[in-house]
Chains A and B, each alone.
Chain A
Amino acid sequence: MQSLELKNESLIEIATFLVRRWSEKENIIIEFSDKMETRTRLKENRVILTSIQKRLGSNFEKYRQLRTSIWYESMRIKFCKKILSNDYGFGFILNTLETLRVEQEGRKLWKGMDKEIIFNYTHMFVARPQLHTVYGKARIVEGFYQYFMFGALKGEVQSSDFERIKKATEFGKKIIEECIKKNYDTEWLEKNVNVIIKILDIDSLLTIPISLPFMKAGMMISEKELLKFLKVIAKNKEVDFGKVDSNAILSGDNIYNEYQVLLDENKKNDKKGIIPESIGIQIPNQINVDETIIYDINLINNLKTKFRDLKSGWKEQYFTSGEEFDVENYIDENKPFFSDIKKSIKTKIVILLDHSSSIASDAIEYKKATIALCEVLSVLKVKFAVYAFSTENRSVICWSIKPDNVKWNKIAAKKLAQIVANGATPLAEIYDKMFQILESKRPDIFLTLTDGEPSDSDAVKNMIKSLKRLGISMIALGYGPNTIRSTTIANNLKHLGYEKTLAVSRLNDIPKRVLSILGQV
C-alpha cells in the first residue's frame, strides 16, 4: 500500500478545477476539514470536505470517495437553491432528498460517474452506524436515511418503525420523481418534507447526531467484506443504474490514472532540496482563499498580446547579408536579407514583492498586477520564483509564493491572495532571510518591487553588495502614486547600490516594466 499523504497542492488544484467545472461556477473554493462532515455553504461559495486522511479504506479508495464527494457537492451547487444544516431533522431530511435529486439530475450529463457513485454508496453504507447504536427518535431518521439511500438497513428496528420508514421512503422517491419530471426545485421539495416528518412521527427540530466514519475506531474492513456490501448496493440500485459489474467497480480502473498522476506529483514535491521553512521563509498555508478576485483577465490578455513575440520565440529581422532574400526590400533599398532571430527569455528571475502597510489601500490592484505578471511569465516559459514580505504579530515574515521549481498554478495565486499588507520595509532583514535560497539557486536577476524606502538603508547597502558578489543582478522597481513620487523613490533606491532602478506610477504598468527588463537581457 502506498503510504503517501495526499493532501498536497496538486490535489487541491485538481479538486478546485473539478468543483468549478462540474458546478459551472467560477469562484467556488475548497477547504478540507478534519472535524466536519462534507458540506457546502452556497452563500460563501465554499465547499468544506472531510479530509482525505479521515476517510476509510486504502489511499486509492479514499481518493475515490473524495472525488465523488466533490461531484455531489458540485451538483448541489448547480441544482440546489439552498442547503440546510444537517444537524436537525428537517434539514437532514431535505438534504437527503436533495442528494438523490441532484444525483439523478447530474447523471444525465455526467454519465461516467455511475461506477464511482455506486462505489461511494458502498463506503457511505459501511460508514453508517448500526441502528442499535443510535438512540431515541434519531434512530428512525437514520433508518429512513439508510433505507432511502441504500435500500437496506444496518441492524433492526421495530416493525412499526420499519413500516413508517418504508412508507416515508416510497413517498420520498415519488416526490423526487415528480420534482425532476416537472422541473421543480428545492423550494417545492422543501414543502413536502413535512409530510415525511409526519410519516416518521418525529419533531422537525429533532437533533441528528453527526455520523462520521472516523468517529468510530477500528472500522477498517477487508476487500471481501467491501465487495459483499457493494453487491448489496448494486442490487438495490439496479432499477436506477442497471446491471453493473461489482468487481470492475471495486477496482476503479478508469480513475486510477489520475490518482497515479497525483502520486507522481507527490514524489516530485518530495525532492525539493532546500526546504524554505528551515531557513525562516514561510509558505502561506490557507487553501480556502478565493483567488479569482485578484485575476484581471483583461490585463492578462493585454499583456499576452503585447509580448506575443516573446512567446513565439522568433522575430523576423533584416540584415545586409544572409540566406533568405527579399526582393521588395532590395528594390526599396533596405537591407534585403532576413532571418528569424530567436527571442526567448533565458533569464532566471526572483521577484520580491513588498507587502508593507503603505500598499494596503491598493492591495487588490497590486495583486492583480503581480498575478498578471506571473501568468505572462508562465506563458512565456520564464523560470521565475516569487516571494513577498509582510509583518505579522510584530515580526516580519518572508513568504514563498512560488519557488522556481514549481509550475505557476492557481495554488500559488491563492498564496498571494491571502497575504495581508502590513508593517514597514525592513529590506535588509528580508534579504538576509532569502540569502541562503539565493545563494543556492543563483538567479540572474533579483527584482525587488517596493513602494517605499527601506527602514534600514545601511544594512541594505551591505546586503546588496554581498548578493551582487554572488553574480546576481540587483534591480529595484519603485512604485509611487504619481510620476514624481515614483521617480523619487527610484532615485533613492539607486543610492543603495542597485544596478538598475525603475519607477512606475500605475500598478498596471508593473508587468510591462518587468517584462521589458527581461526582454533586454
Chain B
Amino acid sequence: MSKEIDYVDWNNSIEILNKAYQADLFVIIIGPKGTGKTSLVRNFIKSKNAKLESINFSLRTRESHLIGTKTLTNGTVSFDEGILIKSMREGSILYLDEINAAEADVLLRLDEALDDRRQIILKESTGGTIKAKQGWFVVATINPLTHTGTKELPPQLLSRFPVRISLEYPPENIELEIIKKHVSGNHDSEISQAIKLANILRQAAAVEELFYSPSLRETIAFGKLLDTGMSTKDSAKIVFGNVYTQWGNIEYQKVADIITSMFGN
C-alpha cells in the first residue's frame, strides 16, 4: 500500500478550503491536470477527519450514479441510493472529481441539491425530500476547457460553487519540495533540472509549439526513476521525451534536443 504523502500547501489552498467549510460554501478547484487538485482535497478531508464520498466523472457517468436506482431483490423493489443521496444523509464530504467531464444533463440534479436549501426531492424513489445532514460539504474539481473531453460547466451549476480555487503549476522551488516528498534519494540538482525542463515544455505547449505539457506527475515520476538508479538522461527521455513521438519525428526531436542539451550523456 502506498503511504500517504504530506501535501505542500504552497498557495494557501487548505486555508481557503477551511474557511469555506466554516462558512458552509461549496468549493470548486480549477487547474490543469497534475497540479495536485486531488491531493489537496484528500489532505483537507484527512484534516477534517470526515467521511469521504467521491465520484470521478466521465462521459459515461449517469444520473443514477448520483441519485440512485431501483433494484429488484427477492421480489421486492428497493432503492439503491447513489453517492449524492448517501453523502447528504451521512453529512459527509462529497468530492466531485472532474465534474466537467460529464454531459450537462447528468449534472442537472446537482443544481437542486446544491442550492441554499441543501435538499433534493427523490422522485426516483418514494418522492420524499432528502435534507442534507449538518456538515455536508461539497468540493468539485474541473480541468481547463482545452483538456480533451471536457465540457463547459453550466453557469447555474458553477454558481453553486462560489469559492473558486485556481491551482496552477507551482514555482520551481515548491515543485522541488513536492517531489522530494515522493523520492528517497538525494537528487536535488537533477530534479531541479527536470523541473526546469518541464517548465520549458509547459511554456512551449502554451504557445502551441508543442502538443503536450508535462504535469507534476511526470516530474514526480522522474524523481522516482532516479531512485531506482536509472541515469538522469534516460529518465528524462522516458518520462518527458518519448511521449512526443506520437506527433512525429520533428516534434520528438525538438524535445529530445532540449533534453540532450540539458543532460548530455
In residues 132-170 of chain B, which contact A (Cβ within 8 Å)?
A: 145-146, 148-150, 152
- 0/1 string, B226-261, CB within 8 A of A gives 1: 000000010000000000000011101110111111
Contact-size category for B: 35 or more
A379: chain B residues at CB < 8 Å are 211
B145 and A305 within 8 A (CB): yes
A17 and B254 within 8 A (CB): yes
A261: chain B residues at CB < 8 Å are 249-250, 252-253
Does A24 sit within 8 A of B, measured CB to CB? Answer: yes
B208 and A300 within 8 A (CB): yes
One of B203, B248, B253 near A258 (C-beta < 8 A): B253
A21-B200, A301-B145, A312-B149 known; A409+B261 contact, CB < 8 A? no
B262: chain A residues at CB < 8 Å are 109-112
**Complexed CA–CA distance, A254 and B260 (Å):** 7
One of B63, B146, B250, B259 near A304 (C-beta < 8 A): B146
- 0/1 string, A296-312, CB within 8 A of B gives 1: 01001100110010011
A17-B204, A264-B249, A308-B149 known; A115+B261 contact, CB < 8 A? no
In residues 98-139 of chain A, which contact B (Cβ within 8 Å)?
A: 109-116
A328 and B64 within 8 A (CB): yes
A21-B258, A264-B249, A305-B152 known; A254+B145 contact, CB < 8 A? no
A110 and B261 within 8 A (CB): yes
B148 and A311 within 8 A (CB): yes
B209 and A410 within 8 A (CB): yes
A111: chain B residues at CB < 8 Å are 193, 262-264
A258 and B62 within 8 A (CB): no
Chain A residue, CB-CB nearest to B263: A112
A13: chain B residues at CB < 8 Å are 250, 254
One of A14, A26, A112, A327 near B261 (C-beta < 8 A): A112
Chain A residue, CB-CB nearest to B210: A17
Does A73 sit within 8 A of B, measured CB to CB? Answer: no
Does A156 sit within 8 A of B, measured CB to CB? Answer: no
- 0/1 string, A377-410, CB within 8 A of B gives 1: 0010000000000000000000000000001011
Chain A residue, CB-CB nearest to B201: A21
**Complexed CA–CA distance, A14 and B256 (Å):** 11
**Complexed CA–CA distance, A301 and B59 (Å):** 21
B211: chain A residues at CB < 8 Å are 379
A409: chain B residues at CB < 8 Å are 250
Does B196 sit within 8 A of A, measured CB to CB? Answer: yes
A20 and B146 within 8 A (CB): no
B148: chain A residues at CB < 8 Å are 308, 311-312
User: Closest approach, in angstroms, between the C-beta of A479 and any C-beta of chain B?
Assistant: 24
Does A212 sit within 8 A of B, measured CB to CB? Answer: no
Does A40 sit within 8 A of B, measured CB to CB? Answer: no
User: Closest approach, in angstroms, between the C-beta of A409 and any C-beta of chain B?
Assistant: 7
**Complexed CA–CA distance, A253 and B260 (Å):** 11
- 0/1 string, B206-224, CB within 8 A of A gives 1: 1111010000000000000
Chain A residue, CB-CB nearest to B256: A258
A115: chain B residues at CB < 8 Å are 264-265
Chain B residue, CB-CB nearest to A13: B250
User: Closest approach, in angstroms, between the C-beta of B198 and any C-beta of chain A?
Assistant: 12
Does B18 sit within 8 A of A, measured CB to CB? Answer: no
**Complexed CA–CA distance, A110 and B11 (Å):** 30
- 0/1 string, A443-484, CB within 8 A of B gives 1: 000000000000000000000000000000000000000000
Q: Which of A10, A26, A264, A305 has the most CB of B within 10 A?
A: A305
**Complexed CA–CA distance, A326 and B62 (Å):** 9
A305-B146, A308-B148 known; A14+B200 contact, CB < 8 A? no
B258 and A18 within 8 A (CB): yes
**Complexed CA–CA distance, A304 and B144 (Å):** 12
Does B69 sit within 8 A of A, measured CB to CB? Answer: yes
Does A194 sit within 8 A of B, measured CB to CB? Answer: no
B208 and A255 within 8 A (CB): no
**Complexed CA–CA distance, A151 and B264 (Å):** 25
Chain A residue, CB-CB nearest to B247: A407
Does A366 sit within 8 A of B, measured CB to CB? Answer: no
Q: Chain B binding site: helix, strand, loop or mixed by DSSP?
A: helix
A410: chain B residues at CB < 8 Å are 209
B233: chain A residues at CB < 8 Å are 112
**Complexed CA–CA distance, A257 and B241 (Å):** 14
Q: Which of B196, B252, B262 has the most CB of A within 10 A?
A: B262
Does A265 sit within 8 A of B, measured CB to CB? Answer: yes
A24 and B62 within 8 A (CB): no
B254 and A18 within 8 A (CB): yes
**Complexed CA–CA distance, A115 and B148 (Å):** 41
**Complexed CA–CA distance, A295 and B204 (Å):** 13
Does A71 sit within 8 A of B, measured CB to CB? Answer: yes
B261 and A22 within 8 A (CB): yes
A297 and B260 within 8 A (CB): no
One of B62, B203, B206, B254 near A14 (C-beta < 8 A): B254
B63: chain A residues at CB < 8 Å are 328
B253 and A14 within 8 A (CB): yes
A300: chain B residues at CB < 8 Å are 208
One of B69, B149, B206, B207 near A327 (C-beta < 8 A): B69
B260 and A24 within 8 A (CB): no
Does A316 sit within 8 A of B, measured CB to CB? Answer: yes
A112 and B264 within 8 A (CB): yes
**Complexed CA–CA distance, A13 and B249 (Å):** 12
Does A375 sit within 8 A of B, measured CB to CB? Answer: yes
**Complexed CA–CA distance, A327 and B62 (Å):** 10
One of A14, A316, A326, A407 near B257 (C-beta < 8 A): A14
Does A86 sit within 8 A of B, measured CB to CB? Answer: no
Chain B residue, CB-CB nearest to A116: B261
Chain A residue, CB-CB nearest to B65: A328
A114: chain B residues at CB < 8 Å are 264
One of B196, B203, B257 near A18 (C-beta < 8 A): B257
B203 and A255 within 8 A (CB): no
A246: chain B residues at CB < 8 Å are none
Chain A residue, CB-CB nearest to B232: A111
In residues 221-257 of chain A, which contact B (Cβ within 8 Å)?
A: 253-255, 257
Does A59 sit within 8 A of B, measured CB to CB? Answer: no
B207 and A297 within 8 A (CB): yes
A26: chain B residues at CB < 8 Å are 207
B209: chain A residues at CB < 8 Å are 17, 20, 410
Does A292 sit within 8 A of B, measured CB to CB? Answer: yes
- Closest 5 CB pairs between A and B? A112-B264, A305-B145, A261-B253, A17-B254, A112-B261
Given A14-B254, A308-B149, A311-B148, list of 20 further CB < 8 A pairs? A10-B250, A17-B254, A18-B254, A18-B258, A21-B200, A21-B258, A67-B257, A111-B264, A112-B262, A116-B261, A255-B260, A257-B253, A292-B207, A297-B207, A297-B208, A305-B150, A316-B59, A326-B62, A327-B69, A409-B250
21 contacts between A and B (CB under 8 A): A14-B254, A14-B257, A17-B204, A18-B254, A21-B204, A109-B193, A112-B260, A113-B261, A115-B264, A116-B261, A254-B260, A258-B256, A258-B260, A265-B249, A297-B206, A297-B207, A304-B146, A305-B150, A308-B148, A308-B150, A328-B62
